Amino acid sequence: MPVIKIPVVHKFGIISQSHRDELQERIQRNIYISTFKDGKSSKVSKDSLEVNEDFVNKFNNCTNADDRQKLLDVAKKMLERAKRRCGASTAGEGKHVDLPLAWTELAQLAQCQHKIQTDCLKILNESLQQSPFDRQQVPALFYLAETTLYWLRTDSLTQPYLRKNEIILLEIGMNTFFRLFFHYMAGELGGFNTFKDRLHTYLEGFIDSENAYEPYPVCVLRMKFIHEIGRMLTADVSEDLQPQEEGSPKGETETNHKSPDYISSCVHDLSPTLWHSLDVWKSVEKASKDLRISLTALLDCAWHVTDENWVDVFTALNILGDAGQANTDVLHCLFHMAKGPKDPVRKLPPKETRLSTTSAVQQDFDASAAADDGSLGTRAITASTHQPEVGSGFASWPWQCCLGYISILKEIVIKSASSKIRKTALVGEDESLKNFSLLGLLFYDQESKISWKVRSVAYEQVWNVYRFFEKDKMNDNLANAAWQAILHVQRYEMDKRVLDSAKVVQDYIPTVLEKSLYGLIAKNLSYIYLPTAEYDFPLKMKNKHQAKKIVNKPIRIKQIRTSLRDEMNLANALYESLPGKLERMNFAMRRVVEDQWRKEEHEMLEREDKEEDSEKKPEKKNEKKNEKKNEKKEMKKKVLNDNFNNLI
């Protein structure tokens, strides 16, 4: 017999442990060899769109056109991802938002030398303007501040002309330091000494390059703002870097860092003007009845702005500008602050910040009376005098606040929802206040060094207003007024620096965001410095010992609603069944018979009438014969009716 070999098959996978290990090793080896031949890595990155320095270097050093196009497509995907992560369409809110990571990625992606750099800077700037505040953002803000300072000192200042990205970069730096300034006022920068130390290193010598931006006052303002806030943030670091006196023990300096004086140095004391501006903003936001009292207290305190830090005054003016977009009285208050009082008083000691509500002030703010409290002749004092007169108005302000005031008027014209407020901010309302409107400042002419700066910035902002309303048919009157003012300046302005300022904004169109940075600052600072109870009105407490009054009310008998069975019975009672087929046929036959008998009766009557006419009988007939004829006719009708009824 032949020998048949039966193959052994492991149907149930029962193999030894050594065979199993050998099989797995062989499978992994084959997979590795196949992927190696195809030029692909066995480990695929989970996040292929992560922005890093290697990608930026690869993008900038790429020379091949095809490879550069592929890298550009990847960069655009990275930009869209970062844009969604920073919440560009949701004002920085949502579960998908991670602001520190998004800001860092945008700052790294902006290093790519391509048009995508401008898009990254624009998205980053808009996100900084409308995103909410959080203490976890502080490290990312320090990183942005250092990156901005590095770019401005290395790349921007080496260029022979002002670039568009450089203007956006200065605005990003200003918004970044403004956010750090808020955290500084909120007392949230106590444990970031390492970041402050690095920032102090980047700030050294930064203000020395101010002369490069001298023809552009707005750029100089942003540089001054960055330097001043950076100096305030790193004040404790700069003190530590100073050489110590001989004989002072080392342990003494360490204990000073834990002292209450050191802790208080990390918190910014609000100036009176800034505190009262927060009070006004809160009154407008809550539609409080004490708004006029708050405005009066603000005007009493605003005459001493020359004794305060210009950064606090600049912040206060921007907060008032945000409130003035919704309230006319606040806008008038801004005008009166710029105008100054009628009788300026000599320099007085500054007022202390009152941490109580301004409802204690018993005076009312009268806009019409305040309009008569000033004259243009009181503004002749320049900001360079050592002892300025208190309340001398716009001319005595620091030039940074003057330029900020002009930008505030532009923001009110663009963002306000009231046509009256827009018109007032652009043209002015009262004759004595027109010189402090946006168009009035175009012709600002005082014997000071900042007069050309005021006209230059006003000229830029009027151009922005014109470009914003140029294609808006609903507000073409504002565009026409701005255009007429531009033509007037081009015809009569003699200073070339003022006319050249329009080149900075020739391709810039302002955008209206959902939220404002100054509104967010005012909202968060009001929670810290102006705490309120849960309810704004006192609740009436019930007296426990008061007996309840029993009132006998007449009992009303309500009609009981019909039940479901009654409703069904009513419906069935009103329901009439439809006739059947036989009934419908009988009705039809009855109509046919009725029509036929009517026709025959009509024909018989016509025939008898004709017979009577044919017979020419004498006119005189006997009454008996006529009666017989009538009886015959009636008998015939009865017979016909009887026959018809019998048929039916």
Condensed to tens digits (0 to 9), the pLDDT of residues 97-116 reads 999 999 999 999 999 888 89
Q: Which residue has the tokens 């020395």?
A: 208
For residues 244 and 225, what is the distance between their CA atoms, to the nearest angstrom?
30
Q: Do both 88 and 144 map to the same domain?
A: no
Residue 625 lies in a domain: no
Residue where a domain terminates, one of 73, 98, 128: 128
- Report residue 200 CA to chain centroid gap: 34
Report the interhelical angle of 99-109 vs 138-151 (nearest 10°). 20
For residues 382 and 120, what is the distance between their CA atoms, to the nearest angstrom?
41
Residue 248 lies in a domain: no
162 C-beta neighbours (distance < 10 Å), count: 16
Quick one: pLDDT at residue 126? 93
- Best CA proximity match to 412, nearest among 322, 337, 481: 322
Quick one: pLDDT at residue 558? 60
For residues 360 and 279, what is the distance between their CA atoms, to the nearest angstrom?
13
Quick one: pLDDT at residue 361? 32
Quick one: pLDDT at residue 49? 76
Summary mean pLDDT of the chain: 78
Q: Which residues of 334-361 are buried (b: 16+ CB within 10 A; e: fewer)?
A: bbbbbbbbeebeeeeebbeeeeebbeeb
Domain holding 158, by residue range, is 133-238
The residues with which 345 forms a beta bridge, in sequence order, are 390
- Amino acid identity of residue 120, one-letter, is C
From residue 147, alpha-carbon distances to 81, 104, 165, 176, 563 in Å are 21, 10, 14, 11, 79
Q: Do both 291 and 178 map to the same domain?
A: no
For residues 411 and 318, what is the distance between their CA atoms, to the nearest angstrom?
10
Q: At residue 276, what are phi and psi to the nearest 5 degrees?
A: -70, -30
Residue 541 lies in a domain: no
Q: Do both 78 and 177 map to the same domain?
A: no
Dig out the tokens for 494 from the structure.
């003699």
Q: At residue 471, what are phi and psi to the nearest 5 degrees?
A: -105, 15
For residues 576 and 231, what is the distance between their CA atoms, to the nearest angstrom?
95
Rg (CA), the chain: 46
Residue where a domain terminates, one of 503, 529, 555: 529
| % of the chain with per-residue pLDDT over 90 | 32
Quick one: pLDDT at residue 42? 40
Report the interhelical angle of 328-339 vs 291-302 (nearest 10°). 20
Q: Do both 341 and 428 map to the same domain?
A: yes
Residue 246 lies in a domain: no
Q: Quick: pLDDT tens for 55-81.
A: 888 888 888 888 889 999 999 999 999
Maximum pairwise Cα distance, the chain: 169
Span 446-453, average pLDDT:
84
Residues shown for the chain: 648
| % of the chain with per-residue pLDDT over 70 | 74
From residue 545, alpha-carbon distances to 384, 541, 542, 548 in Å are 70, 12, 9, 9
Q: Do both 137 and 124 map to the same domain?
A: no
For residues 206 and 638, what is the distance between their CA atoms, to the nearest angstrom?
129
Quick one: pLDDT at residue 25? 77
Q: Do both 141 and 67 map to the same domain?
A: no
Q: Do both 54 and 154 map to the same domain?
A: no
Q: Do both 379 and 448 map to the same domain?
A: yes
- Number of folded domains in the chain? 3
Residue-by-residue DSSP string for 28-84? HHHHHHHHHHTT--SS--S-TT---HHHHHHHHH---HHHHHHHHHHHHHHHHHHHH
Q: Do both 489 and 422 map to the same domain?
A: yes
Q: Do both 514 and 421 map to the same domain?
A: yes
Tell me: pLDDT of 425 over 80.
yes
Q: Do both 478 and 436 map to the same domain?
A: yes
Q: Quick: pLDDT tens for 1-58.
A: 566 665 655 554 556 677 777 777 777 777 767 665 555 444 434 457 788 888 888 8
Q: Do both 119 and 154 map to the same domain?
A: no
Q: pLDDT class for 503, splitting at 50, 70, 90?
A: confident
Residue where a domain terminates, one of 509, 529, 549: 529
Residue 641 lies in a domain: no
Residue 571 lies in a domain: no
Residue 582 lies in a domain: no
Tell me: pLDDT of 167 over 80.
yes
Residue 573 lies in a domain: no
Dig out the tokens for 146 from the structure.
């250092």
Tell me: pLDDT of 275 over 60.
yes
